[in-house]
Amino acid sequence: MSKKNGKSKAAGTIARDISSELYEGDVRLEIESSEDFKQVNQFRKCLKTVENLRIASSNWSEEEGLMIIVSLRSPVPLGSILSRMPMIEQVYKKRKSIVAVLNGSAVDVPPTVDRIYS
């Protein structure tokens, strides 16, 4: 997916910078480009290293694709954290969800990712 003039072509929505927004409570993550299960598992491992974040549930459907509900115990700049993960190409807000677009190639995640995201 490419971003041109601030607009996400695949989603058809305006992509704006959400890196400074703080999130708390349950947040729905929509995962795009999740055909590579290895990459999805790497993403889930990175999520588990984020301080004050717990994966509450994961669902996949033909219509919506992969959805991950995360629970945040305190305010967290989730957009900023997600955008720093090595397998993430783009992060943007769509209605009440955060969309995380995985890049096209698998990325080796270092075993010490927790130092990056805490």
Say which residue the tokens 């890049």 belong to: 103
Residues in the chain: 118
- Where does the pLDDT of residue 70 fall: very low under 50, low under 70, confident under 90, or very high at 90 and above? very high
Domain locations in the chain?
19-117
Q: Which residue did the predictor score with more confidence, 21 or 116?
A: 21
Q: Torsions phi, psi of 22, nearest 5?
A: -100, 140
Chain centre distance of CA 104: 15
pTM: 0.73
Round to whole Å and give the CA distance between 49 and 115: 9
Structure tokens at 72: 């945040």
With cut-offs at 50, 70 and 90, classify the pLDDT of residue 114: very low
Bridge partners (DSSP) listed for residue 72: 25, 53
For the record, the structure tokens of 84 come out as 């720093």
